[in-house]
């Protein structure tokens, strides 16, 4: 069982933002879903740490990419050729 | 063949499209020359708005094409629009689109299925002969079944995901949808190509013409596909379909698939975990509406995502974050991977005895709009489609009759890289029905 406080904490971890009203809605839904997930407790076996597959490598060849202008085209918030983001510190 | 040259009429009575292209080029040459093709809105199209059915990508215009879109253009297809979908592919009805639900052309009081509901409805309504969908846990096959069309989820690794806006990378594939098996096969031939930008692709081109002969094909029918939750009327229609294949010379082998009991939980733990990581990129900095740069980072990020993500997307991000969080990883994610391994082992075992596995695509006919308001009951309706995604095997849905005047889909699953075989069985069935 998760409490409204737990759900608030998860929302904080996920940077998802949640209102008080939504806590009352999401919490019972999570409990119903997590109760269903409990059937995994009885699953036997493990997932193998290695599989019969090998990595597929390729040479690191330089190919044309997006220009800075193309990469920045989808935001109005830019400055001196960079994306502008909210303050981190 | 429906794929003759025809012009696209953007009159959209079912909200199948989020965006139509006024001047799609019809002059190309190639296997799809002059054919109008619709593309699901989570597949990047250079210069055409791509939103994933989400407000958080409102107005986003990709600066590049997905590899599959490059391939469509190379073969002369006219890309006529972007189709509606559950936000980021998260849903079974297309009701989770931020831009309103798509309606089922067979009955506008019902959902078209999801998450590729717009693509299925556009085909069922006759607006386009072909479309691209994506399938993470049934999102091509479910709407194909609900709208009475054909849809193929290819073997994992057969079609490049480059340019697909990711939701759950280990499960999802882009695939062909069309009004008949021949067109699905033609489109599959265009989509299958190795791509150095998706390192999970294999160099296994699809050069195939559907073969009607199923004589001697062994078809496994797991009893779990007709278990609890499957509408008996749907089960009966699907059994009639399987009997038709038997009359055409196939051999029916009843079998068991015990791993089905934990497949759905394994699927939802896996896809939400992957989603919680993938969707972290939507921070309002690089695309979509911008976040408030005056606020502190976390405050800005949280406000932005609360306002612009729909509830189902936020629910899945939070569930995935929880499943991966310290102290719960062993209980949820690790167990889900063990259950996923059991599903793969069941398929491996069965495919030593049979060539394909058949059952219903969906447990019921299309839901009424608004019928599945509770998240868990919506999740449970994916039980018959998720096993193929967990194992990475190819699976097709082909129309096989009606219940209460609504279409029912027959699902055929095959061995890895035997997409050709599932197409053949579906083709034999389709031709057998119309014979």
Reported as a single tens digit per residue, the pLDDT across B51-86 is 999 999 999 999 999 999 999 999 999 999 999 999
- Grouping H, G, I as helix, E, B as strand and the rest as coil, residue A79 is strand
Residue extents of the structural domains in chain B: 10-435
Poorest-pLDDT segment among A54-58, B166-170, B388-392:
A54-58
Closest A-chain CA to B278: A14
Interface with B, mutate which of A16, A57, A58 (most B CBs under 10 A): A16
| Residue B366 scores a pLDDT above 70 | yes
Choose from B204, B322, B344 for mutation: most chain A CBs within 10 A: B322
pLDDT of res. A6: 96
Residue-wise pLDDT for B137-177, tens only, equals 999 999 999 999 999 999 999 999 999 999 999 999 999 99
pLDDT given at position B6: 67
- Spatial distance between the Cα atoms of B240 and B358, rounded to a whole number of angstroms: 12
Please count the structural domains in chain A.
1
pLDDT 10s digits, B209-258: 999 999 999 999 999 999 989 999 999 999 999 999 999 999 999 999 99
Check if the beta carbon of residue A63 is closer than 8 Å to that of residue B357.
no
**Shortest CA distance to B41 belongs to which of B93, B94, B2, B3?**
B94
Give the pLDDT confidence score for residue A50 in this predicted structure.
Answer: 67
Among chain A residues, the shortest Cα distance to B65 is held by: A66
User: Residue A10's domain spans which residues?
Assistant: 4-42
Q: Is residue A80 part of a domain?
A: no
Chain segment A30-50, per-residue pLDDT in tens: 999 999 999 999 998 877 766
Q: With respect to residue A9, please indicate whether it lies within any of the assigned structural domains.
A: yes
What ipTM goes with this model?
A: 0.94
Percent over 90 (pLDDT), chain A: 73
Angle at CA of residue B223, ends B136 and B213, nearest 5°: 75
The nearest CA of chain B is from the CA of A87 a distance in Å of 5
Radius of gyration (C-alpha) of chain A in whole angstroms: 23
Q: Which residues, 6 or more positions from B183, have their beta carbon under 8 angstroms from its beta carbon?
A: B1, B2, B3, B129, B130, B150, B176
- B332: chain A residues, CB-CB within 8 Å: 37, 40
Q: Taking the CA of residue B129 as centre, how many other CA atoms within 13 Å lie in the half-sphere pointing to its CB?
A: 22
Has residue A22 been placed in a domain?
yes
| Best CA proximity match to B58, nearest among B91, B98, B28, B93 | B98
**pLDDT tens digits, one per residue of B270-300:** 999 999 999 999 999 999 999 999 999 999 9
SS3 A80: coil
Is residue B94 a contact partner of residue B102, using CB atoms and an 8 Å limit? Answer: yes
The mean per-residue pLDDT over the stretch B19-38 comes to: 89
Question: Would the pLDDT of B2 be above 70?
Answer: no
Which is the catalytic residue, given B40, B82, B153, B421?
B40
Buried b (16+ CB within 10 A) or exposed e, B266-285: bbbbbbbbbbbebbeebbbb
Q: How far apart are CA B66 and CA B208, in angstroms?
A: 24
Indicate whether A88 belongs to any domain. no
Asked whether the beta carbons of B111 and B144 are under 8 A apart, the reply is no
Task: Say what the pLDDT of residue A58 is.
Answer: 79
Q: Do A30 and B63 touch (CB under 8 A)?
A: no
A 10-29 residues with CB below 8 A of B? 10-11, 13-19, 22, 26, 29
Give the phi and the psi of residue B406 in degrees, each rounded to 5: -115, 145
Beta bridge partners of B45: B48
A34 in any annotated domain: yes
The yes-or-no verdict on residue B28 having pLDDT over 50 is yes
Residue-level pLDDT at B435: 77
Could you give the count of Cα atoms lying within 13 Å of B28 in the half-sphere of its Cβ? 21
Fold topology of B10-435? Amidase signature (AS) enzymes (3.90.1300)
């Amino acid at each position: 069982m998760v409490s409204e406080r737990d759900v608030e904490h998860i929302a904080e971890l996920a940077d998802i933002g949640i209102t008080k009203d939504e806590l009352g809605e999401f919490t019972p839904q999570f409990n119903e879903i997590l109760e269903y997930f409990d059937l995994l407790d009885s699953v036997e076996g493990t997932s193998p740490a290695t599989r019969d597959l090998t990595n597929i490598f390729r040479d690191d060849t330089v190919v044309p990419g997006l220009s800075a202008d193309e990469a920045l085209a989808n935001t109005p918030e830019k400055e001196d050729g960079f994306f502008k983001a909210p303050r981190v510190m | 063949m429906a794929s003759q040259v025809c012009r696209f009429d953007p009159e959209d009575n079912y909200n199948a499209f989020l965006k139509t292209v006024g001047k799609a080029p019809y002059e190309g040459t190639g296997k799809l020359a002059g054919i109008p093709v619709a593309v699901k809105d989570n597949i990047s199209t250079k210069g055409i708005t791509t939103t994933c059915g989400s407000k958080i990508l409102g107005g986003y215009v990709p600066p590049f094409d997905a590899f599959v879109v490059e391939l469509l253009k190379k073969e002369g297809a006219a890309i006529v629009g972007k189709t509606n979908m559950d936000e980021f592919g998260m849903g079974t009805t297309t009701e989770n689109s931020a831009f309103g639900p798509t309606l089922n052309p067979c009955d506008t009081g019902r959902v078209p299925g999801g998450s590729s509901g717009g693509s299925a409805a556009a085909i069922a309504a006759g607006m386009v002969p072909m479309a691209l969908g994506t399938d993470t846990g049934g999102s091509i096959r479910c709407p194909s079944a609900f709208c009475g069309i054909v849809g193929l989820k290819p073997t994992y690794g057969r079609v490049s995901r480059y340019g697909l806006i990711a939701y759950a990378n280990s499960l999802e594939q882009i695939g062909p949808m069309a009004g008949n098996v021949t067109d699905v096969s033609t489109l599959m031939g265009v989509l299958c190509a190795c791509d150095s930008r998706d390192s999970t692709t294999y160099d296994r081109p699809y050069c195939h013409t559907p073969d009607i002969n199923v004589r001697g094909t062994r078809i496994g029918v797991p009893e779990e596909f007709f278990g609890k939750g499957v509408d008996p009327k749907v089960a009966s229609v699907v059994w009639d379909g399987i009997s038709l294949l038997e009359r055409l010379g196939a051999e029916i082998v009843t079998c068991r698939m015990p791993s089905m009991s934990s497949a759905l939980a394994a699927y939802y733990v896996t896809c939400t975990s992957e989603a919680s990581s993938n969707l972290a990129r939507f921070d309002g900095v690089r695309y979509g509406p911008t976040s408030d740069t005056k606020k502190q980072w976390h405050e800005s990020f949280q406000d932005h995502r609360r306002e612009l993500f729909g509830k189902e997307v936020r629910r899945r991000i939070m569930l995935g974050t929880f499943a991966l969080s310290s102290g719960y990883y062993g209980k949820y994610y690790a167990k889900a991977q063990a259950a996923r391994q059991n599903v793969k082992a069941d398929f491996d075992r069965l495919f030593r005895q049979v060539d394909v596995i058949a059952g219903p695509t969906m447990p019921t006919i299309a839901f009424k709009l608004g019928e599945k308001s509770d998240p868990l009951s919506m999740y449970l309706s994916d039980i018959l489609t998720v096993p193929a995604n967990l194992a990475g095997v190819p699976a097709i849905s082909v129309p096989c009759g009606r219940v209460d005047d609504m279409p029912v889909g027959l699902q055929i699953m095959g061995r890895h890289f035997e997409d050709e075989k599932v197409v053949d069985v579906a083709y034999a069935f389709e031709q057998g029905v119309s014979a």
